[in-house]
Homo-oligomer: A and B are copies of this chain.
Amino acid sequence: MKFLKYLFIFIPISIAFEFMHMNPILIFIASALSILPLAGLMGEATEEISYYAGPRVGGFLNATFGNATELIIAFFALKEGLFDVVKASIAGSVIGNILLVLGASLLFGGLKFKTQTFNKKAIEVSSSMLLFAVIGLVIPAIFTHTVKPELLTTRYEILSIGVAALMFLIYILGLYFSFYTHKDIYGSDHGEAHEVKWSLKKSIIVLVVATVLIALESEFLVSSVEPMTKAVGLSEFFVGIILIPIIGNAAEHSTAIIMAMKNKMDVAIEIAIGSSLQIILFVTPILIFLSLLFKPMSIVFNEFELIAMFVSVLIANRVANDGESNWLEGMQLIVVYIIIGISFLIL
């Protein structure tokens, strides 16, 4: 995505806007646009470092830093106490990865190749893990919504931390499964020949600089959310569930679509589903744990977020089920995404 590099110009622009106390809408847009190329850069640096670290450690690194941008943005929203935005952006990442990223991959891939096939086995593991993960999120929420309010005590903090710890455990076990005990089911298609671009030293410097700048821009972005939503008349939910995930996931979006158009559906689907899994099993627990530094955030999502995540995951399982895809499936996923988007937009 070469045109992305022109967006680097928005780094100084957003900094200037911030210090000139410009209109929050402009700050939001400028910092959002500057995050896009930075996220791409961070991804490249991580890949380079993974290459030097060898397949195993490298795989772990890639899996762990794949959603670093979302994590950083969410961290600043957490620090500001914008729990609704944090949770909406978690739900939005899952929904966006499945409906928009996967949908666009199936659509654009399917427009080029009539029927595309993929390694059903590996994707069934991920997609059924996704089902378990969402069910794990649904249970404490149902519980909270079902029982009488007078029974809701501070003990719910314990529930959140317990569920977060269990999610994290499954995440670690999932890595162990895919890198050790059942490595073979993931085929060799996974790791394509890697062209070395940067030295290890340069990669680390790039990673650090990109991370610092993303952190800076995320702070600008998050602090502009509240005044911007008021100025424009958008709901914070819309920003959290639609806009922030698109900004945070842009790099994955483009990679997945490019892969689908090269008929590498395994990689495209694995990016979309794997990224959703990471959000639930890795990013969410980390955020729950980090929230203990400020004010504890509960793991209870609202009904709409849960149902939207649940139906997305059902769809992912349906798509994974037959080992084949076509453009119509992609179009349907995108339409469901648009319906969700309209719902939040008109709020």
Interface residue? A155 (CB, 8 A): yes
Hey, which chain B residues are within 8 Å of A198, CB to CB? none
Question: Residue A317 contacts which of B135, B159, B173, B318 (CB distance < 8 angstroms)?
Answer: B318
- On whether the beta carbons of B339 and A136 are closer than 8 Å, the reply is yes
How many whole Å from A140's CB to the nearest CB in chain B?
6
Q: Are A114 and B308 in contact (CB-based, < 8 A)? A: no
- CB neighbours (8 Å) of A128 from chain B are 318-319, 329
CB-defined contacts of A8 to chain B, threshold 8 Å: none
User: A188 contacts the other chain (Cβ, under 8 Å)?
Assistant: no
Q: Is the CB of B146 within 8 A of A315?
A: no
B-contacting 9-mer, from A14-22, A35-43, A174-182, A247-255: A174-182
User: How far is A174 from B327 in the complex, measured between Cα atoms in Å?
Assistant: 10
Chain B residue numbers with a CB within 8 Å of A169 are 335
Contact A328 B174 (CB under 8 A): yes
Cα(A326)–Cα(B146), bound, Å: 34
> With a CB–CB cut-off of 8 A, which chain B residues contact A346?
155-156, 158-159
Q: Which of these, B125, B138, B335, contacts A132 with CB under 8 Å?
A: B335
A302 touches B335 (CB 8 A): no
Residues 277-316 of chain A, each 1 if its beta carbon lies under 8 Å from chain B, else 0: 0000000000000000000000000111001100100110
Which residues of A from 177 to 209 have beta carbons under 8 Å from B? 177, 181-182
Q: How many Å lie between the Cα of A151 and that of B159 in the bound state? A: 31
Q: Are A146 and B321 in contact (CB under 8 A)?
A: no
| Chain B residues, CB < 8 A from A335 | 132, 136, 166, 169-170
Residues of A224-277 contacting chain B, CB below 8 A: none
Query: Please, which residues of chain B bring their CB within 8 A of the CB of A13?
Result: none
Q: Is the CB of B332 within 8 A of A159?
A: no
Q: How far is the CA of A124 from the CA of B317 in the complex (A)?
A: 13
| Chain B proximity mask over A318-336: 1 for CB below 8 Å, otherwise 0 | 1101100011110111011
Question: Can you list 8 A-B pairs with a CB-CB distance of less than 8 A?
Answer: A132-B335, A135-B314, A139-B343, A142-B308, A158-B346, A170-B332, A170-B335, A181-B326
A residues near B (Cβ < 8 Å) are 114-115, 121, 124-125, 128-129, 131-132, 135-136, 138-140, 142-143, 145-147, 151, 155-156, 158-159, 162-163, 166, 169-170, 173-174, 177, 181-182, 302-304, 307-308, 311, 314-315, 317-319, 321-322, 326-329, 331-333, 335-336, 338-340, 342-343, 346-347
Q: Which 5 A-B pairs have the closest CB atoms?
A: A132-B332, A143-B343, A146-B304, A155-B346, A177-B328
